[in-house]
C-alpha cells in the first residue's frame, strides 16, 4: 500500500481513538507530506472540521496547490471536494467510496484526477464505526 495512504489511515485511527469519526487525510507535494488531519467534528464540536479541511488547515498556506495530491481514507464529500477545486488540487486518492460515494463526479468535472483504491482496511474502519455509532455517522453525512 502507498505510504501516504498509510499515513492517512493512521490519521483516521487517531481520530477514532479520540472518540471521533475515523477519516484521515494527508496533503503531499514532491513526495513530502505538507499537512495531515482527521475528522474532528466531534472533538472540536465543529461541523466543518472534516479530515480534508483539517489537513489543509494544518498544511497552512503553501502557495500553489496544483502539484499537490490529497489522500483521504474516504471519498471526499462536496464540502471537501469544493476545497479541492477551490485550491486547484489536481489529484485526489481515496481509500474507498463504498461507504460513502462522495463528490467524485464533481471533482472530475473540474479536472481533478480521482483514484479510488477500494481498500478493505478503509472500508473496515468505517464499517466498525458505523455499527457502533450509527447516529453519529448519520449526522456526519447529513441524514
The yes-or-no answer on residue 121 being catalytic is no
Euclidean distance between CA atoms 40 and 22, whole angstroms: 9
List the catalytic residue out of 11, 18, 52, 105. Answer: 52
Euclidean distance between CA atoms 5 and 65, whole angstroms: 19
Half-sphere exposure of 95 (CA within 13 A, CB side): 32
Return the active site residues: 52
Amino acid at each position: 500500500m502507498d505510504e501516504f495512504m498509510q499515513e492517512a489511515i493512521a490519521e483516521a485511527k487517531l481520530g477514532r481513538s479520540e472518540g471521533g469519526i475515523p477519516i484521515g487525510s494527508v496533503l503531499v507535494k514532491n513526495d513530502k507530506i505538507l499537512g495531515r488531519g482527521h475528522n474532528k467534528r466531534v472533538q472540536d464540536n465543529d461541523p466543518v472540521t472534516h479530515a480534508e479541511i483539517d489537513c489543509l488547515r494544518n498544511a497552512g498556506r503553501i502557495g500553489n496547490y496544483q502539484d499537490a495530491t490529497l489522500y483521504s481514507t474516504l471519498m471526499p464529500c462536496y464540502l471537501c471536494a469544493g476545497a479541492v477545486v477551490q485550491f486547484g488540487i489536481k489529484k485526489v486518492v481515496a481509500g474507498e467510496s463504498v461507504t460513502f460515494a462522495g463528490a467524485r463526479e464533481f471533482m472530475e468535472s473540474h479536472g481533478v484526477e480521482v483514484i479510488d483504491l477500494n481498500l478493505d482496511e478503509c472500508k473496515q474502519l468505517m464499517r466498525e464505526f458505523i455499527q457502533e455509532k450509527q447516529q453519529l455517522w448519520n449526522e456526519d453525512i447529513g441524514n
